[in-house]
């Protein structure tokens, strides 16, 4: 019998390190939310609609709310359960969501056999980044902190293959934000690709031929899971239709759909190509030097195809980058919604040795420095400045600086790889 070797990642020291990092994060979160100084909520801001929904839940009376806010019912409902003023209720809910996010993130890092350093880097990115949790100190009456917590739970359930809890968490996500439909599609794609007995045409065997009518040899348990998943999604969307009709009817009809909005901004991007440049700026703002990490793309794709989890993280990263282009004037926030997928994939690439630890440290340090300086140079997201006033000077300067750093990192990476070889 072979002696089982101890896994250094699973040792007592790692548990202590993870616990120490978690309590550091928890302290940062508590200090941030206790010292929060929320802005007034008025006008056409998203917070106005969530405030109205929370008041409606407390009074249990119908209220007209525009799409898509009227389908994001979970956060306002949970906030309505706290016996405090609405702003304070959202602050408490958001703090709970941050703590849950940090717990789920620690479990994800543990399951992927990454280290406490990865936990530290990813956690700080969400806790300190101007588009991360600090956004919700100033504007707490939003659904994003809850969405981040559920997002992390979905990823954890997918990695652990807890399919029942995965479905439940996706349902909770759909009650929070439509983004979780994208996650369901990504999960479907990854499961279909990695559960099939047929891997490309060359692997077409006799067993698959006999099973052709059963989804070309896809494992039955995967088929049953996907049937159950989409039945649950159908019931959830049907429930949201009833909510829209009875509790939060639209103020006018017809209302723009999510698909219609995406198509509109796709046409706008093609009509006005400078929006694509703004989109690249948003990618740098939200993810740091992700594009440098995955260069060359062939190597990243080869790594992604090695496992279902890596493939899921990879296609999820690409999906949220594309959604940023198709999301209008909220590019950075939309891309940031998928940042957990992006940062986890980068961490796996680092673990696999596709680039050196020196490069990883340099890239993360430069990314963090640029992102923390971002609010100094741009008090508001520059995509808003562009959409409102078509001001391109700030975007051009930012992109020039980020491109210069990217080129430096690409050259440094190749130099370090050459030295390693």
* Residues across the chain: 421
| CA angle centred on 252, ends 250 and 255, rounded to 5° | 75
Using an 8 Å Cβ cutoff, are 395 and 382 in contact? yes
Is residue 8 scored above 90 in pLDDT?
no
Per-residue model confidence (pLDDT) at position 159: 95
Question: Where do the DSSP E strands lie in 277-322?
Answer: none
Among 35-44, 153-162, 220-229, whose mean pLDDT is lowest?
35-44
CA neighbor of 72 nearest in space, from 162, 143, 146, 165: 143
pLDDT tens digits, 303-320: 888 889 999 999 998 899
Residue spans of alpha helices (H) in 175-247 = 179-195, 206-210, 220-246
To the nearest whole percent, how much of the chain has pLDDT over 90?
30
Per-residue model confidence (pLDDT) at position 79: 95
Q: Ranked by mean pLDDT, which of 125-134, 163-172, 337-346 comes out on top?
A: 163-172
Q: What is the gyration radius of the CA atoms in the chain, in angstroms? A: 22
Per-residue model confidence (pLDDT) at position 268: 73
- How many angstroms separate the CA atoms of 57 and 50, rounded? 10
Q: Phi, psi (5° rounding) for residue 166?
A: -60, -45
Using an 8 Å Cβ cutoff, are 29 and 98 in contact? yes
pLDDT tens digits, 188-214: 988 888 876 544 444 444 444 444 444
CA neighbor of 386 nearest in space, from 334, 339, 332: 332
């Amino acid at each position: 019998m072979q002696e089982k070797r101890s896994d250094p990642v699973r040792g007592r020291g790692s548990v202590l390190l993870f616990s120490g990092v978690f309590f550091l994060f928890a302290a940062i979160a508590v200090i941030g939310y206790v010292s929060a100084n929320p802005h007034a909520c008025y006008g056409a801001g998203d917070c106005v609609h969530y405030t109205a929904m929370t008041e409606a839940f407390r009074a249990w009376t119908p209220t007209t709310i525009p799409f898509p806010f009227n389908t994001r019912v979970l956060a306002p409902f949970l906030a309505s359960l706290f016996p405090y003023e609405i702003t304070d209720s959202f602050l408490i809910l958001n703090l709970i969501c941050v703590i849950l996010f940090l717990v789920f993130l620690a479990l994800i890092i543990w399951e992927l056999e990454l280290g406490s350093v990865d936990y530290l880097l990813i956690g700080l990115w969400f806790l300190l980044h101007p588009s991360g949790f600090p956004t919700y100190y100033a504007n707490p009456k939003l659904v994003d902190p809850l969405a981040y917590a559920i997002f992390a739970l979905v990823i954890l359930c997918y990695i652990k293959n807890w399919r029942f809890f995965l479905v439940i968490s996706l349902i909770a996500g759909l009650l929070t934000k439509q983004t979780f439909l994208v996650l369901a599609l990504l999960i479907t794609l990854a499961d279909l690709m990695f559960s099939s007995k047929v891997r490309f045409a060359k692997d077409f065997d006799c067993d698959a031929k006999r099973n052709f009518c059963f989804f070309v040899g896809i494992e039955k348990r995967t088929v049953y899971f996907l049937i159950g998943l989409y039945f649950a999604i159908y019931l959830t969307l049907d429930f949201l239709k009833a909510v829209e009709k009875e509790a939060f009817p639209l103020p006018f009809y017809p209302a723009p759909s999510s698909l219609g909005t995406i198509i509109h901004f796709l046409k706008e991007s093609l009509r006005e190509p400078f929006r694509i440049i703004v989109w690249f700026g948003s990618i740098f703002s939200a993810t740091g030097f992700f594009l440098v990490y995955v260069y060359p793309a062939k190597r990243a794709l080869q790594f992604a195809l090695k496992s279902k989890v890596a493939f899921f993280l990879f296609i999820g990263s690409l999906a949220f980058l594309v959604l940023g282009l198709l999301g209008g004037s909220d590019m950075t926030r939309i891309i940031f919604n998928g940042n957990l997928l992006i940062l986890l994939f980068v961490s796996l690439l680092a673990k696999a040795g596709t680039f050196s630890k020196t490069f990883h440290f340099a890239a993360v340090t430069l990314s963090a420095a640029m992102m923390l300086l971002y609010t100094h140079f741009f008090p508001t997201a520059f995509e808003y400045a562009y959409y409102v006033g078509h001001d391109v000077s700030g975007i051009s300067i930012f992109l020039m600086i980020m491109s210069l750093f990217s080129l430096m990192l690409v050259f440094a990476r190749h130099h370090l790889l050459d030295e390693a070889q």
